[in-house]
Amino acid sequence: MKLSQLTAFFNSSVQTWAREARLLRWLTFLWLVVGLAVLYSASYTVADADYGDGLRYFKIQLLWIAIGLVGFQVVVQTSLQRLVKISGLILLLLLSLILVTLMPQLGVTVNGATRWLSLGPFLIQPSELLKPFLVLQAARLFGQWHRVSWVNRCLWLGIFAVVVGSILLQPNLSTAAICGIVLWLIALAAGLPYLPLILVACSGVGLAVVSISIKAYQRQRIISFLNPWADPTQSGYQLVQSLLAIGSGQLWGSGFGLSQQKLFYLPIQYTDFIFSVYAEEFGFVGCIALLGLLAVYAGLALAVILRCSHPIYRLIAVGAMVLLVGQSLLNIGVAAGALPTTGLPFPFLSYGGSSMISSLLTAALLIRVAREAGEAQKVVDLTTWQAKRSRTPLERSAKRNLSS
Pairing of strands 113-119, 122-124: antiparallel
CA distance 173 to 340: 11
Confidence at 122, pLDDT banded by 50, 70, 90: confident
pLDDT at 400: 60
Give rounded-to-5 percent helix, strand, coil for the chain.
Answer: 75, 5, 20
CA distance 139 to 212: 30
- Looking at 104-149, list the stretches that DSSP marks H as alpha helix, in order from N- to C-terminal side: 126-129, 131-143
pLDDT at 108: 85
Of residues 395 and 271, more confidence is placed in 271
- Hey, is 308 helix, strand or coil? coil
Burial class (CB in 10 A: 0-12, 13-18, 19+), 251: exposed
Confidence at 16, pLDDT banded by 50, 70, 90: very low
CA distance 376 to 131: 27
Q: Is-contact 262 254, C-beta < 8 A?
A: no
pLDDT at 107: 83
What is the DSSP-derived secondary structure letter of residue 115?
E
pLDDT at 216: 74
Q: Global pTM? A: 0.89
The mean per-residue pLDDT over the stretch 36-47 comes to: 95
What is the DSSP-derived secondary structure letter of residue 110?
E
Range scoring the smallest mean pLDDT among 159-173, 323-337, 373-387: 373-387
Give the whole-number percent of the chain exceeding pLDDT 70: 88
Contacts of 99 (CB under 8 A, 6+ apart): 166
Mean pLDDT (the chain, rounded): 87
CA distance 303 to 272: 30
Range scoring the smallest mean pLDDT among 37-41, 44-48, 65-69, 200-204: 200-204
Peptide bond into 171 cis (omega under 30): yes
Q: Is residue 213's pLDDT more than 90? A: no
pLDDT at 4: 56
Confidence at 385, pLDDT banded by 50, 70, 90: very low
Q: Which of 347, 368, 377 is nearest to 359 (CA)?
A: 347
pLDDT at 120: 78
pLDDT at 13: 42
pLDDT at 9: 43
The mean per-residue pLDDT over the stretch 157-163 comes to: 95
CA distance 153 to 163: 15
Q: Is residue 5's pLDDT more than 70? A: no
Q: Is residue 267's pLDDT more than 90? A: no
Q: Is residue 141's pLDDT more than 70? A: yes
Question: Residue 354: enclosing H or E segment and its boundaries?
Answer: helix 353-389
The mean per-residue pLDDT over the stretch 311-322 comes to: 96
What is the DSSP-derived secondary structure letter of residue 109?
E
Confidence at 189, pLDDT banded by 50, 70, 90: very high
pLDDT at 75: 95
Q: Is residue 376's pLDDT more than 80? A: no
pLDDT at 140: 96
Q: Is-contact 94 129, C-beta < 8 A?
A: yes
Give the whole-number percent of the chain exceeding pLDDT 90: 65
Confidence at 403, pLDDT banded by 50, 70, 90: low
pLDDT at 296: 97
Confidence at 381, pLDDT banded by 50, 70, 90: very low
Question: Residue 147: enclosing H or E segment and its boundaries?
Answer: none
Give per-residue pLDDT as tens, 76-111.
999 999 999 999 999 999 999 999 998 877 888 777
Q: Is residue 393's pLDDT more than 70? A: no
CB atoms under 10 Å from CB of 203, counted, come to 12
pLDDT at 1: 47
Give per-residue pLDDT as tens, 225-241.
888 887 888 878 889 99
pLDDT at 218: 74
- Looking at 311-352, list the stretches that DSSP marks H as alpha helix, in order from N- to C-terminal side: 311-321, 327-335
Confidence at 345, pLDDT banded by 50, 70, 90: very high
CA distance 137 to 86: 9
Of residues 176 and 209, more confidence is placed in 176
CA distance 16 to 14: 5
CA distance 269 to 37: 14
Of residues 3 and 41, more confidence is placed in 41
pLDDT at 14: 41
